């Protein structure tokens, strides 16, 4: 220990000096953000501008020469910007709770930790909290790379007046958790149905003796495992820490690249950033060639489709709503031209919103 001190001290002195400069600069930056906040208050426009925040850190990522990595630049500036927003007016964000869910993780990845996070017991409640004004934004899962669409979210988007204002893609790494870190005395494994499905091969191979029980969320499963030594949970590392559980086995998802896409819902529209995505819902009459004709204007205007999903219209007549993601912002010329035509031809069209693509 003693012999490292002379070598460390001069470097630490330099770090202290840099930290003082950073502190002064960060406060100078926060002062400017406050001035911007005052202007926004005057014009009664929203404080939080996700599209501007994206441009702030993508510009810095392009300038970055290392050794800091691209993702670290994003994480650092996300917190810097969240802190300056919080000085102006902290906003509430609703997510699918309880604390410790992947939705909570997605929320913090989206807006930094300086938000008032409001856990909701269901996806419906997240929508309701934002619609009622109890939260400014909400974050809900929309699709998983193994299990596909989260149909409840798709159905709620159809009827809600809220728009999509952002997305977050999270790698989902499931862990098998118990109080002791072993399976001794454990007879049941609890998790959200999607998580059980995403780990089914692993469970069949390594823990076939465990009864599988679907519960409201993985965080609820972690809560149950914390209360009952005969229960194991499938949940995130964050949930393990939060509920004081030990990891029996990490990374038990069948697909190592398992990912979930979350969408941010709110009232605010996002201005174009040059790397946007637009989501919409379309329906056509149940006649031959209708889907082909519905998509034709998109192809003709050179708009590329990144996702196409259908949901039954619940009319009992084999009719469908089509959920479509397009590259670009609805204000971009090719999309605007295609939408003008779609509005004429489609039986139903609802533009859910344009937002910066996850990076
Ligand atoms: C300062 C602003 O307000 C907020 C804070 C930002 C920041 O700290 O850089 C960026 C966008 C907004 O969410 C702004 O709009 O420029």
At 129-186, the pLDDT tens digits run 999 999 999 999 999 888 889 999 999 999 999 999 999 999 999 999 999 999 999 9
Best mutation site among 38, 41, 49, 266 for ligand 1, i.e. most ligand atoms within 8 A of its Cβ? 49
Does residue 1 have a pLDDT over 60?
Answer: no
Residues in the chain: 359
Q: What is the DSSP string of 78-121?
A: HHHHHHHHHHH---EEEEESSTTSHHHHHHHHHH-S-SEEEEES
Band the pLDDT of 8: cuts 50, 70, 90: very high
Domains, the chain, ordered by start: 24-88 (1.20.59.10), 92-172 (3.40.190.10), 175-249 (3.40.190.10), 276-356 (3.30.70.260)
Q: Is the CB of 85 under 6 A from ligand 1?
A: yes
Residue 322 is a catalytic residue:
no
Q: What is the pLDDT of residue 89?
A: 76
The pair of three-digit structure tokens given for residue 76, joined into one six-digit string: 């650092």
| Catalytic, out of 101, 153, 260, 278 | 260
Does residue 79 have a pLDDT over 60?
Answer: yes
Among 31-35, 220-224, 336-340, 342-346, the minimum mean pLDDT is found in: 342-346
Whole-prediction pTM value?
A: 0.83
- ipTM of this predicted complex? 0.95
At 89-138, the pLDDT tens digits run 778 999 998 888 899 999 999 988 888 999 999 999 999 999 999 999 99
Does residue 315 have a pLDDT over 80?
Answer: no
Atom 4 (ligand 1) nearest CA? 48
Does residue 258 have a pLDDT over 70?
Answer: yes
Indicate the Cα dihedral angle 153, 154, 158, 163, nearest 10°.
60
How far from 168 is each of 108, 158, 293, CA to CA, in Å? 10, 20, 32
Q: Is the CB of 53 under 6 A from ligand 1?
A: yes
* Range among 19-28, 88-97, 284-293 rated most confident: 19-28
Residue 260 is a catalytic residue:
yes
Q: What is the pLDDT of residue 225?
A: 98
């Amino acid at each position: 220990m003693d012999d490292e001190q002379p070598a460390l001290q001069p470097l630490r002195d330099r770090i202290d000096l840099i930290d003082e400069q950073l502190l002064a600069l960060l406060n100078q930056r926060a002062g400017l953000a406050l001035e911007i906040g005052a202007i926004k208050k005057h014009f009664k426009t929203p404080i939080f501008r996700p599209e501007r925040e994206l441009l702030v850190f993508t510009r810095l990522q392009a300038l970055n020469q290392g050794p800091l990595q691209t993702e670290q630049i994003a994480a650092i500036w996300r917190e810097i910007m969240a802190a300056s927003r919080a000085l102006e007016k902290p906003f509430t964000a609703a997510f699918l709770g309880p604390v410790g869910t992947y939705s909570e993780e997605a929320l913090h990845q989206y807006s930094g930790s300086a938000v008032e996070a409001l856990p909701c017991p269901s996806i419906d409640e997240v929508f309701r909290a934002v619609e009622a004004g109890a939260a400014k934004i909400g974050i809900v899962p929309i699709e998983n790379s193994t299990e596909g669409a989260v149909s409840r979210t798709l159905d709620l988007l159809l009827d809600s007046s809220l728009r999509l204002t952002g997305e977050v893609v999270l790698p989902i790494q499931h862990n098998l958790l118990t109080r002791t870190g072993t399976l001794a005395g454990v007879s049941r494994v609890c998790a959200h149905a999607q998580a059980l499905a995403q780990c089914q091969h692993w469970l069949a191979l390594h823990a076939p003796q465990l009864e599988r029980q679907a519960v409201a969320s993985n965080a609820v499963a972690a809560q149950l495992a914390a209360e009952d030594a005969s229960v194991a949970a499938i949940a995130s590392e964050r949930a393990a820490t939060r509920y004081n559980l030990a990891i029996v086995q990490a990374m038990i998802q069948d697909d190592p690249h398992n990912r979930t896409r979350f969408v941010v819902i709110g009232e605010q529209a996002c201005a174009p950033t040059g790397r946007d995505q637009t989501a919409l819902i379309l329906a056509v009459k149940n006649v031959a060639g209708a889907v082909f004709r519905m998509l034709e204007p998109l192809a003709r205007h050179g708009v590329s489709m990144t996702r196409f999903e259908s949901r039954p219209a619940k009319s009992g007549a084999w009719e469908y709503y089509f959920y479509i993601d397009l590259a670009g912002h609805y204000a971009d010329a090719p999309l605007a031209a295609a939408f003008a035509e779609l509005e004429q031809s489609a039986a139903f069209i609802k533009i859910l919103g344009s937002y910066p693509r996850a990076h």
